[in-house]
Amino acid sequence: MNVLLFVLGIPLLGGGALALVGHKAWARDVNVLFSLGTFVASCVMTAQVINDGPFFVWNDQFFIDPLNVFLVTLTAFVGMTTSIFSRPYMRVEQDHGKMTPPRMRLYHSMYQLFSFTMLLGFTTNNLGIIWVAMEAATLTTVLLVSVYRTPSSLEAAWKYFILCGVGIAQALFGTILVYMAADKVLGAEHATLLWTSLSTIKGHLDPTIMSLAFVFLLVGYGTKIGLVPMHSWLPDAHAEGPTPVSAVLSGLLLNVAMYAVLRCKVLTDGSVGTPIAGQLMMGFGLVSVVVAGFFLSRQKDVKRMFSYSSIEHMGLITFAFGMGGPIASFAGLLHMTVHSLVKSAIFFTVGHATQKAGTQVMSEIRGLIKVNPTVGWGLMLGVMAIVGMPPFGVFASEFLILTTAMREQPWATPFLFIGLGVAFASILARVLPMVFGDTSLKPLAHPPALVPVFVHLALGLALGLFIPPYLNGWYVQAAAMLGG
């Protein structure tokens, strides 16, 4: 009996159970319970990895090491807090008539299945199953994005499906090429897609095949990360779906795709021997940071603006991993963590603000701090954190990435500063009037669940001030695995 069974089994069971009873009033609490169970199981698994080191499960099909166990815990944690946030939020949506009982059933069931697909993607050892999990995650989120059944949400979901379907097909082609490379080394009888086996023979994998494979894998999974120019689905999907979905899409799903790219990068680096994979990632990352910064400054819809901010941060993370080396990989992992925490906190407050104002247009949301001080302060602090103000964790990781870039890739530094600077100025300029201006809005019928917001921000702050030694050791180990 392995703890992984619970980590994967609880959300899968939750998806099945909520498909039957998800429309009941108490299903909201059941949803939280399932997410809590997943989180507890993942904490137990983390403790196991800390005590006993990496381990295999079920004929090597699953592999738990410092890199993925940390992402599993992060995913389970944000999944749990988002389910807490979603309780009052979806209740208000139901009162507004945007959600009906059958839609609530679909929403709850897909929420749990989405958690399952992400956790499956993280824990599996098989590159093919990572692909299957990514595609399944797309399918569940397509249903979540379209749950309001409005013309614009249908449009967003259709685009999301088609663009990500095309993107992820490239990743499958890349996976086939990796399998072909393994086939050449191991022979048809023993060929495998297990990452750990490929990792031991990566020096023998054919460099021509592997570099072509990595291009396809990066473009394919890069579509899901939201790298420019494959990003156009992302703002639509984030803006049109329910806010809890925007929070998990932005905070968690993008990380799964990033993780898949990282696993493939390790194999490619080992096989090719030149930094070609890193250079490609730096290129895509840099373009994403700059382009997203400028797109961000043109937005009028608050959820679209923050989804462009996610593209920008994902670009920065891609750039950091592309540079490689222990410090940059460490900073990339730290940035992944704090971005997940802070961005989902921002989406929580933005969700309440838009619900209150009845619109997502920023110029019509004013004076949050007067109607509901906790929402106002939550948004203000979240924004300070995401634009990289000290002492939040984003500042620490951005500082590490920028200083490493100055030392190792000086040519890229001005572009990074331009992208981050434009984003800084435009987000603050938009959000300040939203928080402080005058307003005539009324408070909401159901008090919003704001504990998750402040828990996330407190963690983001704590990571900026002090990284506990075991967490530090964990990041260092994970960074070393990435070939640091």
Partner 1 sequence: MIKFVPQIINLLATIILLLSFAMISQRRIVTLINLFMIQGAALVAASFLLGYVTNQPDLYVSGALTLLLKVIFIPWMLHRVIRKLNVRWDVETLFNIPTTMLVGIALVILAFSLAAPVSRLSETLAGGSLGIALACILLSFMMMITRSKAVPQVVGFLSMENGLIFAATAVTNGMPMIVEFGVALDVLVGVLILGVFMFQIREKFDNLDIHNLETLKDDRS
Q: Name the residues that contact partner 1, by CB under 8 A.
A: 61, 126, 128-129, 131-132, 135-136, 139, 142-143, 146, 149-152, 154-159, 161-162, 165-166, 169, 172-173, 175-177, 179-180, 183-184, 188, 191-193, 206, 208-209, 212, 235-236, 239-240, 295, 298-301, 304, 361, 363
The two three-digit tokens of residue 30, written as one number:
């059941």
Beta partners for residue 194, in sequence order: 126
Find the helix or strand (DSSP H, E) in which 258 lies: helix 254-272
What is the closest distance, in whole angstroms, from the C-beta atom of residue 331 to partner 1 in the complex?
30
Residue 324: CB partners within 8 Å, gap ≥ 6?
Answer: 269, 275, 278, 482, 483, 484
Give CA separation, 304 vs 5, 233, 439, in Å.
37, 11, 23
**Would you say 15 or 388 has its CB closer to partner 1?**
15
Least Å distance between CB 423 and partner 1?
A: 15
Nearest to partner 1 of 236, 398 (CB atom) = 236
| DSSP structure class, residue 442 | P
Minimum CB distance to partner 1, residue 154 (Å)? 6
Q: What's the sign of the alpha-carbon dihedral 167, 171, 174, 179?
A: negative
Please state the closest distance from residue 5 (CB atom) to partner 1, in A: 18
Contacts 24+ apart (CB under 8 A), 268-273: 268/210, 268/211, 268/213, 268/214, 269/324, 269/483, 270/199, 270/202, 270/203, 270/205, 270/483, 271/181, 271/202, 271/203, 271/204, 271/205, 271/206, 271/207, 271/210, 272/207, 272/210, 272/211, 272/214, 273/207
Is the omega angle on the peptide bond into residue 229 within 30 degrees of 0, that is, cis?
yes
Rounded Cα gap, residues 332 and 290, in angstroms: 18
Tell me how far, at minimum, the Cβ of 396 lies from partner 1, in Å: 31
Instruction: Kindly state the smallest distance separating residue 358's Cβ from partner 1, in Å.
Output: 15
Q: Is 43 exposed, middle or buried (0-12, 13-18, 19+ CB in 10 A)?
A: middle
Q: Which is nearer to partner 1, 232 or 472 (CB)?
A: 232
CA distance 302 to 357: 12
- Rounded distance, CA 425 to CA 148, Å? 33
Q: Is the Cβ of residue 182 or residue 368 nearer to partner 1 in the bound state? A: 182
Instruction: Find where tokens 């992820």 sit.
Output: 168
Checking 428-432 for CB contacts under 8 A at 24+ apart, the result is 428/383, 428/387, 430/299, 430/302, 430/305, 430/362, 431/379, 431/380, 431/383
- List of residues 6+ apart from 293 with CB closer than 8 A: 312, 418, 419, 420, 421, 422, 423, 426
Minimum CB separation of residue 99 from partner 1 in Å reads 16
Smaller CB separation from partner 1, 156 or 323 = 156
Please state whether 289 falls in left (phi above 0), alpha (psi between -120 and 50) or beta: alpha
**Of 311 and 384, which CB lies nearer to partner 1 in the complex structure?**
311
- Residue closer to partner 1, measured from CB, 239 or 338: 239
Quote the least distance from Cβ 223 to partner 1, whole Å: 12
Least CB distance from residue 205 to partner 1, whole Å? 11
* Residue whose CB is less far from partner 1, 167 or 452: 167
Nearer to partner 1, 142 or 400 (CB): 142
CA distance 187 to 260: 25
What CA–CA distance (Å, rounded) separates 65 from 73? 12
CB nearer partner 1, residue 217 or residue 449: 217
- In the complex, least distance from residue 169 CB atom to partner 1, rounded to whole angstroms: 5
Q: Are strands 62-64 and 55-57 parallel, antiparallel or unpaired?
A: antiparallel
CB of 447 to partner 1, least distance (A): 31
Q: Would you say 357 or 479 has its CB closer to partner 1? A: 357
> Residue 195 Cβ, how far from partner 1 at the closest point, in Å?
13
Which CB sits closer to partner 1, 303 or 313? Answer: 303
Task: Give me the least distance between CB of 412 and partner 1, in Å please.
Answer: 26
Nearer to partner 1, 33 or 212 (CB): 212
